[in-house]
Amino acid sequence: MVNKATRPTDGIIGQDLWNIQLDEQGQLKHFLTIEGLGTNILNQILDTAESFAGINESVKKVPLLRGKTIVNLFFEASTRTRTTFELAAKRLSADVLNMNMSTSATSKGESLLDTLRNIEAMQTDMFIVRHADSGTAHFIANHVAPHIRVLNAGDGSHAHPTQAMLDMFTIRRNKGADFGRLRVAIVGDIKHSRVARSQIHALNTLNTGEVRVVAPRTLIPKDVEAMGVNVFYNLAQGIQDADVVIMLRLQKERMQGALLPSEQEYFQLYGLTEERLQLAKPDAIVMHPGPINRGVEIESSVADGPQSVILNQVTYGIAVRMAVISMTLGGNTGNAQAQKNQEQT
Ligand code: CP
């Protein structure tokens, strides 16, 4: 297998991007991007999530973050990310404030920073931010009070780090911890996908055997090979012998101009059907971050079929987000089982 992993640079925000994510002890302080984080941090997230996954299956709540207040600031639509962040925070016993940004005072002309100052004044501890503009979570992290933690819940086409980590968790649960044995194919609109970027960084940091991207030329970003992937323009070749096939939706809201002839033609060339899935390894898993578009990037019988782990990804998102929230807010993550016992008594 070929792994051309290189240390990436971040063209959008700059070289200092990763520094503000870590404190002086090298512990996670904000979670804005996978870039610049070492294997140790990614494995710490996965291991911590594993301890929370067990708790989620039984007692469902630990008192780790009692007294903390977490604010969901979603400037862009979300089903899975917003709700699983909310569930994660509640299962850690934090208070959760869901701001409806379409009805907040930013729609009356208040600046983003003034809105943030006001939410800070409510003695809050964490902002979870989704925004259509790349770099927004990073901008906010640079301007909040020192005690506030910021998590990126997706910024433009830049990054979606908790999605990538729940995807890594799903792969680890199904395929084991040795990513070096794995061939992972990411298929679809790579160019506009923050999920794909974060997945590629995470897979390479975890030393995945081979990372492939599969798409029409118009949906492959320039210089993508520098991110340490092999590029395929043909679906059959791209998923051949893959252990993991990750399908992505067409990000039409971020496309400028006609990059595709039609959705029907896209499905004919790049849609994952039962027949095509047979080209991957017999035990390959099929993933998708959602929302899925049936009949565009994936056939319904594959999305709902025995190799699909799409809904498991959603479930694991709670444990992974619990891990990231508790690590950044300084909860005693190593003592999750003791916390569970305390709750039960
Ligand atoms: N995967 C994902 O980000 O889904 P939502 O847009 O529903 O949050």
Q: Which residue's alpha carbon is nearest to atom 1 within ligand 1? A: 289
Would you say the CB of residue 161 lies under 6 angstroms from ligand 1?
Answer: no
| Model pLDDT, residue 340 | 47
| Model pLDDT, residue 196 | 98
Report the alpha-carbon distance of residue 137 to residue 143 in Å, rounded.
10
* Kind and range of the H or E run holding 210: strand 210-214
What is the number of H-type helices and E-type strands within the chain? 12, 9
Would you say the CB of residue 290 lies under 6 angstroms from ligand 1?
Answer: yes
| Model pLDDT, residue 241 | 98
- Ligand 1 centroid from CA 315, angstroms: 13
| Model pLDDT, residue 7 | 36
- Ligand 1 centroid from CA 138, angstroms: 19
Tens-digit pLDDT string for the chain (345 aa):
544 443 333 333 444 555 799 998 899 999 999 999 999 999 999 999 999 998 777 777 899 999 999 999 999 999 999 999 999 999 999 999 998 777 676 777 888 899 999 999 999 999 999 999 999 999 999 999 999 999 999 999 999 999 999 999 999 999 999 999 999 999 999 999 999 999 999 999 999 999 999 999 999 999 899 999 999 999 999 999 999 999 999 987 666 666 677 889 999 999 999 999 999 999 999 999 999 999 999 999 999 999 999 999 999 999 999 999 999 998 544 444 444 444 443
Report the alpha-carbon distance of residue 287 to residue 302 in Å, rounded.
10
| Model pLDDT, residue 15 | 42
| Model pLDDT, residue 336 | 47
Report the alpha-carbon distance of residue 182 to residue 171 in Å, rounded.
10
Only one residue has tokens 């960084």, namely 201
For ligand 1, mutation pick of 76, 81, 166, 199 (most atoms within 8 Å of CB):
81
| Model pLDDT, residue 338 | 40
| Model pLDDT, residue 18 | 52
| Model pLDDT, residue 260 | 72
Report the alpha-carbon distance of residue 71 to residue 284 in Å, rounded.
38
| Model pLDDT, residue 181 | 98
Q: 244-247 and 230-232 as β-strands: parallel, antiparallel, unpaired?
A: unpaired
| Model pLDDT, residue 104 | 72
For 114-117, the CB contacts below 8 A with 24+ separation are 116/140, 116/143, 116/144
Q: What is the reported pTM? A: 0.90
| Model pLDDT, residue 55 | 78
| Model pLDDT, residue 14 | 44
| Dihedral sign of CA atoms 2, 47, 316, 192 in order | negative
Burial class (CB in 10 A: 0-12, 13-18, 19+), 43: middle
Q: What is the DSSP letter of 22?
A: B
| Model pLDDT, residue 51 | 93
| Model pLDDT, residue 100 | 79
Would you say the CB of residue 317 lies under 6 angstroms from ligand 1?
Answer: no
Report the alpha-carbon distance of residue 240 to residue 221 in Å, rounded.
22
